[in-house]
Amino acid sequence: MRVPMIIGNWKMNTTVSEATELVNEMRQELDQTGSVDKVICPPFISLTTVRELIKGSSIKLGAQNLYFTEKGAYTGEISPLMLADLCQFVIIGHSERRQYFNETGEVTNKKMRAALKVKLNPILCVGEKLEENEEGRTEEIVTEQLRTSLAGLDYLTGLIIAYEPIWAIGTGKAATAEQADETIGLIRHNIFELYNERAARDVRILYGGSVTAANTTEFMRQPEIDGALVGGASLRASQFLSIVKQTAETRRVR
Ligand code: 13P
For the stretch 168-203, pLDDT in tens is 999 999 999 999 999 999 999 999 999 999 999 999
Catalytic residue among 132, 164, 178, 189: 164
Q: Give me the mean pLDDT over the 45-69 stretch.
A: 98
**What separation in Å is there between the alpha carbon of 14 and the centre of ligand 1?**
15
| Residue 106 among the catalytic residues | no
Closest C-alpha to 246, from 1, 36, 75, 32: 36
Res. 253: pLDDT tops 70: no
The total number of residues shown for the chain amounts to: 254
Return phi, psi of residue 66, to 5°: -160, 165
Is residue 94 part of the annotated active site? The answer reads yes
Query: Contact 28/241 with Cβ under 8 angstroms?
Result: no
Contact 29, 230 (CB under 8 A): no
* Residue 229: predicted pLDDT: 98
Please, what is the average pLDDT of the chain?
Answer: 96
- In terms of DSSP H, where are the helices of 151-215? 177-194, 197-202
Q: Which residues pair with residue 227 across a beta bridge?
A: 5
